[in-house]
Structure 1
């Protein structure tokens, strides 16, 4: 890869610094409730929020905005947008390949934030989380990056290679995010015990990101939820559905079936639940023909259909009681 691909850090120009909107936005009290649009995810009390994950600039920056529009039309409750990076070590292979495609098509930081700004202008109330790596921030500078992200309309940042333990010792990332009214999500490890979960919910803002549990780990996740409920927080848990092990992750029926095996045990509790899924979208775009840096209408329709099918299956998993005491219904997976 050339130097641009290694760093992926074109300096930002002509992006004015955003100013904090209110004092409340700059003063995170670590009641772990977001102070911006990501707060909307706390409203999903009887079903999981649907959060499609898309790599900005995939398969080209020009096509990416149309892909995002298709995803939103399909029923996204929020978006998880990945800033393309040359070494996306925390992403599944299909999503890592999406970063490579975007970089090879000329995606960079400034261009990616313009895409976010376009979506923000068209959908002013849609929560948007930007997933990226620490190198992409520190090379530009914490203050400059968080100001640019806030100005583009980002609500929350998720930095998978920034451990919450590091944030306990050094608050620079949290301080810079809070100054611009950005939430700073954090990883909820599947093996975190009650004491650790109690610490996490006092540091993390916006959302806790967790691997999608399977049947074997669902019990441990429920125990973590009980700790969060005891703490009295309204911090959503955003499950990252890395289902690349499915033979064809672009098959909505296979993806939905895998999700609804576990979701009934988790939704409808006092902890809001969201599900992010991006592997299937990346798989569709991997095979998409590109002409004049655009994808075909058929590809956009396929993306919209896939996201819509998965969204309907996620939304169909509900509980009867708002406190989660009654078992959730298990929906039938839609036909592929």
Structure 2
């Protein structure tokens, strides 16, 4: 059982919804990024989604793109991202960390080497947005063999014919993208999300969390109420972009977490 599996099992046992927070590794620089990441569990975050900076983030909106650029300009690399995770693990051995990014840096490193280093650093799962199920042999299956969850995205355009393929080798949880388009582009609507979550749950026993288009505690509560949890990224990253103190960023995160945790099925 991975940390992700254990976290969702614990939440389910307590009839609680998950709150997942996304931040870009190294944004705005290594030290401040580590300070924020270390503070996320205390702010109520159940799962940390850590972005791996990349030069061509095609699925990300302007806010996340800018975060990646700031991180790259501050000298963030794959090695330093792994070092950030390892530093976090010095004080926290329970909070799950999912690395989210693109395949190119992993491919360049070499899959076997990357998986060994990621596991050693303390990464629990991967979301790699540009590897479809047809490419499961590239990273998904090796990752699971190495003990890491591989989390797949489902979207509003994932029809009934496609969904079983998407779910086939997914583990940890399913990430439902609530809107079509890029991150931070529009708001999620619980009324639209609810039937899609039910459709996914009909095909899997995995938890389904919903991201994209969630920017307020009220929206986090509404979306978590129709799913197993909510993910917030751009709204948090925008606070970091404003050069707010870590304490202020974490206070905002706590408000989002409280919103998600107050949701009822």
Name the TM tier (shorter chain): 0.7 to 0.9
Match status 1:209 vs 2:186: no
Task: Give the TM-score, by structure 1 length.
Answer: 0.70
User: Which segments of structure 1 move beyond 6 Å, counting only runs of 4 or more?
Assistant: none
SS at match of 1:143: helix
Give the superposed CA RMSD: 1.9
- 1:71 is displaced (CA, Å) by 2.0
Match status 1:311 vs 2:230: no
1:277 to 232, 235, 252: 232
Q: Is the contact made by 1:197 and 1:227 (CA closer than 8 Å) also made in structure 2?
A: no
- 1:54 is displaced (CA, Å) by 0.8
The alignment covers a number of residue pairs equal to 253
Output aligned runs, 1:179-218, within 5 Å.
Answer: 179-212=145-178, 213-215=188-190, 217-218=192-193
SS at match of 1:122: coil
Match status 1:236 vs 2:233: no
Q: Is the contact made by 1:95 and 1:279 (CA closer than 8 Å) also made in structure 2?
A: yes
Distance 1:227 1:193, change over 3 A: farther
Q: 2:67: which partner in 1?
A: 98
- 1:226 is displaced (CA, Å) by 4.3
- 1:64 is displaced (CA, Å) by 1.0
1:220 to 190, 195, 204: 195
Paired with 1:96 and 1:201, the residues of 2 have a C-alpha distance of 28
Gaps of 5+ in 2: 179-187
Q: 2:218: which partner in 1?
A: 257
Please tell me whether Structure 1 or Structure 2 has the larger radius of gyration of its CA atoms. 1
Q: Is the contact made by 2:18 and 2:224 (CA closer than 8 Å) also made in structure 1?
A: no
Q: 2:103: which partner in 1?
A: 134
Q: 2:31: which partner in 1?
A: 62
Q: Is the contact made by 2:133 and 2:165 (CA closer than 8 Å) also made in structure 1?
A: no
Q: Is the contact made by 2:152 and 2:167 (CA closer than 8 Å) also made in structure 1?
A: no
Gaps of 5+ in 1: 1-34, 244-248, 250-254, 268-272, 289-297, 320-336
SS at match of 2:129: coil
Q: 2:144: which partner in 1?
A: 178
Paired with 1:85 and 1:172, the residues of 2 have a C-alpha distance of 19
Cα deviations across residues 203-255 of structure 1 (Å, max 9, x unaligned)?
11122111135245225314414413xx5x2x122312334xxxxx5xxxxx1
Q: Is the contact made by 1:194 and 1:227 (CA closer than 8 Å) also made in structure 2?
A: no
Please identify, of 157-166 and 308-317, the stretch whose mean Cα deviation from structure 2 is larger: 157-166
Task: Give the TM-score, by structure 2 length.
Answer: 0.88
Q: Is the contact made by 2:217 and 2:256 (CA closer than 8 Å) also made in structure 1?
A: yes
Paired with 1:174 and 1:226, the residues of 2 have a C-alpha distance of 21
- 1:195 is displaced (CA, Å) by 4.5
SS at match of 2:46: coil
